[in-house]
Amino acid sequence: MEFDTVIHGGTIVTPQESWVGDIGIRAGRIAALAERIPGGDRRIDASGRLVLPGGIEAHAHIAQESSAGLMTADDYYSGSVSAAFGGNSSFIPFAAQQRGQSVDDVIATYDGRAAPNSVLDYSYHLIISDPRPEVLSDELPRAFARGITSFKVFMTYDLMNLGDRGMLDILAVARQHGALTMVHAENNDMIKWMNARLAAAGLTAPKYHAISRPAIAEAEAINRAIALARLVGAGLFIVHVSTPEGAELVARARAEGLPVHAETCPQYLALTRADLDRPGMEGAKYICSPPLRDEATQGALWRHARTGTFDSVSSDHAPYRFDETGKFAKGADAPYPAIANGMPGIAARLPYLFSEGVVAGRITLGQFVALSSANAARVFGMDRKGAILPGWDADIAIWDPEETRTVTAADQHDAMDYTPFEGMRLTGWPVHVLNRGETIVEGGALKAARGRGRFVARQPYRIGPQAPTVPELDPAQNFGADIWP
């Protein structure tokens, strides 16, 4: 049996176990796993290194306009390159619908942005802001059939939030067609009420961003989103959970057997709202939604990462530069509600999670693999990715677990002019990243051609359709009619 590539002598890690051995790769797939595999057109020496499934970045905003019309700094080239340097073999950015736009047009637009540029395999989650009848009946089912089997909706922002009624309609479509609804859960009216009070008092500096979006606004919305999904019997994925209260609600729903999934992000583990109070307008770099919290929150979120409340730790890479093209598009001293929401982190996500998680003893190596790759592949239906198994795509990241580096903006390889993780000393770095058996990054150098990445058609979300609805929706309760849509 001849192999294109043999990775030999590394410690191969899965969520369940790790062992020293070799991987034989042929035609982009893992073809053999064994203690020793001779030959191979190319041999990669991985001795003393960890051999992990390549990271899957499941939450990133790339070449995306915000609802206010502001374009992210990273396109599919710089965004995928930055992801690759951070140990990722594939990613799933958002394809956002503007109000009035058809979903078919959204997908065509993002195909035009991604296909010529991405160095990594990619898919999209849709963002749905305008669920008109034809979107629900035709356009979304058509997108699901093309393998785009997840989408995000908002419970906040006037231009984005769907209201409870709109959420129910869209959850029902997801259940019927095998898709997963992702939700940004914050109570819109609580935030608007806080904004009005802060504005009336003249409190508009960046630090008030965190005050304006209190933890209770997230917890209330997560609780409501879970209730809405439960009525319909649909699966749910809560994005960027930032509070212990919210994580507890997710943990409780999972303990009841509900198909509720969740992620948190490195910024909620690493930073606090004190960063919003840095001198001058420096705090604008740390404006993201939900906002940064406090140190007690960090400890609680790490515990939830360890105990399985979170399926994944995602970057929520939302790159707006610290200049007039990004954070200050509305002026150099804009009030916090006019400053773009989001921070970069697609390259720092996995080194941060490895160093502060695995090296610091907060999570195991197996949990790192689950949180960085394996769970996202399963939940989002990438059926050949996220594992080192025969037949799977050869998406592999080789890590040096002992190298220590300091994070700098220049090393992120993105289009940004800052990183919120600047100056952190992290131990454990990816040194060689493969996607479908091809080397993408090696020894600190990019090896991939622009546009080599392929679209990944994802499998349907299979957990939701079996979920029970509430008894009142059960036709057996009998009102003489099946009221299920």
Q: How far is the CB of 480 from Zn ion (least distance, A)?
A: 42
Residues 341-380 vs Zn ion: string with x where CB under 5 A?
Answer: ----------------------------------------
125 binds ligand DUC (CB under 6 A): no
Q: Residue 192 in 3-state DSSP?
A: helix
Report whether 440 contacts 434 (CB < 8 A): yes
Which single residue brings its beta carbon nearest to Zn ion?
Answer: 8
Which CB sits closer to ligand DUC, 11 or 312? Answer: 312
Q: Phi then psi for 152, rounded to 5 degrees?
A: -110, 140
**Number of amino acids touching Zn ion (CB under 5 A):** 5
> Judged by CB under 6 A, does residue 260 bind ligand DUC?
no
- The answer to the question of residue 316 lying near ligand DUC (CB under 6 A) is yes
Residue 57 found at the interface with ligand DUC (CB under 6 A)? no
Contacts with 375 (C-beta within 8 Å, 6 or more apart), sequence order: 311, 312, 386
The two tokens of residue 233 are: 């019997």
Residue reference for tokens 């990183």: 419
Q: Three-state SS string across 205-239, please? A: CCCHHHHHCCHHHHHHHHHHHHHHHHHHCCCEEEC
Is 316 a binder of Zn ion (CB under 5 A)?
A: yes
Find the angle CA(89)-CA(20)-CA(47) to the nearest 5 degrees: 75
The site partner of 22 among ligand DUC, Zn ion, none (C-beta below 5 to 8 Å per kind) is Zn ion
What Å distances lie between residue 20 and 2, 37, 393, 434, CA to CA? 21, 12, 20, 19
Q: Which is nearer to Zn ion, 153 or 467 (CB)?
A: 153
With CB under 5 to 8 Å by kind, the binding choice for 341 among Zn ion, ligand DUC, none is ligand DUC
Q: Which stretch binds Zn ion (CB under 5 A): 25-33, 96-104, 310-318, 456-464?
A: 310-318
Site for ligand DUC in 327-346 (CB under 6 A): 341-342
Does 317 interact with ligand DUC (rule: CB under 6 A)?
A: no
Minimum separation from the CB atom of position 157 to ligand DUC (A): 7
Single-letter residue type at 197: R
Calpha distance 324→417 (Å, rounded): 12
Instruction: Find the binder of Zn ion among 8, 213, 349, 432 (CB under 5 A).
Output: 8
Q: At closest approach, how far in Å is the CB of 456 from Zn ion? A: 20
Do 121 and 448 meet the contact criterion of CB atoms below 8 Å apart? Answer: no
Contacting ligand DUC within 432-451 (CB under 6 A): none
Q: How far is the CB of 341 from ligand DUC (least distance, A)?
A: 4
- Give least dist CB 355 to Zn ion, A: 23
Of the pair 123, 341, the CB lying nearest ligand DUC is at 341
| Smallest distance from ligand DUC to CB 186, Å | 8
Give yes or no for residue 240 binding ligand DUC (CB under 6 A). Answer: yes
Q: How far is the CB of 127 from ligand DUC (least distance, A)?
A: 9
In this structure, what are the phi and psi dihedrals at residue 364, rounded to the nearest 5 degrees? -85, 170
Exposure on the CB side of residue 485, measured as CA atoms within 13 A:
15
Could you say which of 272, 289, 297, 375 contacts ligand DUC (CB under 6 A)? 289
CB-based contact 9:364 (threshold 8 Å): no
CB of 59 to ligand DUC, least distance (A): 7
Is the CB of 61 or the CB of 273 nearer to ligand DUC?
Answer: 61
Nearest alpha-carbon partner for 343 in 203, 242, 216, 440: 242
Instruction: Draw the binding track, 59-98, toward ligand DUC (x: CB under 6 A; -: no contact).
Output: --x-------------------------------------
Instruction: List the Cα angle 266/271/272 in 5-degree steps.
Output: 135
State yes or no: residue 184 binds ligand DUC (CB under 6 A): yes
Those residues whose C-beta lies under 8 Å from the C-beta of residue 356, and which sit 6 or more positions away, are 269, 270, 362, 426
Work out how close the CB of 24 gets to Zn ion at its nearest, in angstroms, rounded to a whole number.
10
Helix H segments across 146-203? 163-177, 188-200
Rounded to 10 degrees, what is the CA torsion of 220, 370, 354, 268? Answer: -10
Closest distance to ligand DUC from the beta carbon of 241 (Å): 11
Torsion, Cα 119 66 343 385, to 10 degrees, reads: -40
Of 209 and 436, nearer to ligand DUC (C-beta) is 209
Strands (E), 338-424: 396-406
Binding region for ligand DUC (CB under 6 A): 61, 184, 239-240, 289, 316, 318, 341-342
Binding region for Zn ion (CB under 5 A): 8-9, 22, 184, 316
